[in-house]
């Protein structure tokens, strides 16, 4: 019998001893996941060789991360986001066929019950910011427009906060809405030009970013969840390519294919039609949905 089968722990066989101890796990997936995590974690500890003080600091960082969590604040998700793990899990789970629009992180500020609105509605209820009209077509991978597709959209206000971060200060459902494409697959609505904003950075994750010489900002974007019968639901954003943080998103959410064009329009007649001040902003962005996976 080898040492690790008896369970005697040494620096050399540490991972094998721990993995061997889990041999009776009833759940095969859990057993596999714990074996990989144990192996990689022990490998990291062996490479880092932390002092007792450093290890305690790491434990206290995770403790503070847990203590920061409330119904409205999920500091562990922020940690996953800023380590790039949320985007990696998203990429693994949303491999798309050629031509389909790419996904990106959901983020913590989605709400399930935003109002369904007629096409063209203005979702900006606090009357702050620069007017913007957004339009496009949703198609399948063969290029056919898809009618009756649901687009759930949300963005921050001009101060860089979502309505749920400023309950009582912003109107409920400010800059949120659910739209459905018309018979030609078209959608359009009115909003404001999005701005860059910081992820919540007053907790341990924000402190870690500071120590790493990183900023907490996300480049300006609009969120979309797009769903239609027979299609894979797409969770994504469109981004302003001219934003100063476009190359350094704190959560690694930017993909080249999600860069939209934000155009400044100086046209008093069109502005009047949209009930906008002149000039205003216009962006057009088409989406392509992948077919639903069978089975
Ligand atoms: C967001 O875009 O809403 C977001 C994503 C990840 C972390 C924080 C905010
Ligand atoms: Fe966001």
- Per-residue pLDDT tens digits for 98-136: 999 999 999 999 999 999 999 999 999 999 999 999 999
> Residue 295 pLDDT more than 70?
no
Q: ω before 13 within 30° of 0 (cis)?
A: no
218 C-beta closer than 6 A to ligand 1: yes
At 293 the pLDDT is: 85
At 1 the pLDDT is: 57
Query: Strand pairing partners for 136?
Result: 187
107 C-beta closer than 6 A to ligand 1: yes
> Residue 3 pLDDT more than 70?
no
> Distance from the CA of 87 to the center of ligand 1, in angstroms?
11
> Distance from the CA of 48 to the center of ligand 1, in angstroms?
31
- Closest residue by CA, ligand 1 atom 2: 107
222 C-beta closer than 6 A to ligand 1: no
Q: Which atom, in ligand 1's list, is nearest to the CA of 77?
A: 7
Distances (CA, A) of 270 to 13, 32, 121, 132, 280: 72, 60, 16, 12, 9
> Distance from the CA of 106 to the center of ligand 2, in angstroms?
8
Ligand closest to 106 (CA) is: 1
d(CA 289, CA 221): 20
> Residue 85 pLDDT more than 70?
yes
With the most atoms of ligand 1 within 8 angstroms of its CB, the residue from 79, 152, 251, 258 to mutate is 251
Say whether 227 sits in a helix, a strand or coil: strand
d(CA 19, CA 35): 5
pLDDT digits over 212-260, tens only? 999 999 999 999 999 999 999 999 999 999 999 999 999 999 999 999 9
> Residue 290 pLDDT more than 90?
yes
- What is 85-289's CATH superfamily? Aromatic compound dioxygenase (2.60.130.10)
Ligand closest to 85 (CA) is: 1
Q: Do residues 155 and 87 make contact, with C-beta atoms less than 8 angstroms apart?
A: no
251 C-beta closer than 6 A to ligand 1: yes
Mean pLDDT value of segment 265-293: 97
DSSP conformational letter for 255: -
> Residue 50 pLDDT more than 90?
yes
Q: Do residues 125 and 171 make contact, with C-beta atoms less than 8 angstroms apart?
A: yes
pTM assigned to the model: 0.93
- Closest residue by CA, ligand 1 atom 5: 107
Kindly report, as residue ranges, where domains of CATH 2.60.130.10 are found in the chain. Answer: 85-289
At 2 the pLDDT is: 59
* Residue 71's pLDDT band (cuts 50, 70, 90): confident
d(CA 14, CA 19): 9
The mean of the pLDDT values for the chain is 96
> Residue 284 pLDDT more than 80?
yes
């Amino acid at each position: 019998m080898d040492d690790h089968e008896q369970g005697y722990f040494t620096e050399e066989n540490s991972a094998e001893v721990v993995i061997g101890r889990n041999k009776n796990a009833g759940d095969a997936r859990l057993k596999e996941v714990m074996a990989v995590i144990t192996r990689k974690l022990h490998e990291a500890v062996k490479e880092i060789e932390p002092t007792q003080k450093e290890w305690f600091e790491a434990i206290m960082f995770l403790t503070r991360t847990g203590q920061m969590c409330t119904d409205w604040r999920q500091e562990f998700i922020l940690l996953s986001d800023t380590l790039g793990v949320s985007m990696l899990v998203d990429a693994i789970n949303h491999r798309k066929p050629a031509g389909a629009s790419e996904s990106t992180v959901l983020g913590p500020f989605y709400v399930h019950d935003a109002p369904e609105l007629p096409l063209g509605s203005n979702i900006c209820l606090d009357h702050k910011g620069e007017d913007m009209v957004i339009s496009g077509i949703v198609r399948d991978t063969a290029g056919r427009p898809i009618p009756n597709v649901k687009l759930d959209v949300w963005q921050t206000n001009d101060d860089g906060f979502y309505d749920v971060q400023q309950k009582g200060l912003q109107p409920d459902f400010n800059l949120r809405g659910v739209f459905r494409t018309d018979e030609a697959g078209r959608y359009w609505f009115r909003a404001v030009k999005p701005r860059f904003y910081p992820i919540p950075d007053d907790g341990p994750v924000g402190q870690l970013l500071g120590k790493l010489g990183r900023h907490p900002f996300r480049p300006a974007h609009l969120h979309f969840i797009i769903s239609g019968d027979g299609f894979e639901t797409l969770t994504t954003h469109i981004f302003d390519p001219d934003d100063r943080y476009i190359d350094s998103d704190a959560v690694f959410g930017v993909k080249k294919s999600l860069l939209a064009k934000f155009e400044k329009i100086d046209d008093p007649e069109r502005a009047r039609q949209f009930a906008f001040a002149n000039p205003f902003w216009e962006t057009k962005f088409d989406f392509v949905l992948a077919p639903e996976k069978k089975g």
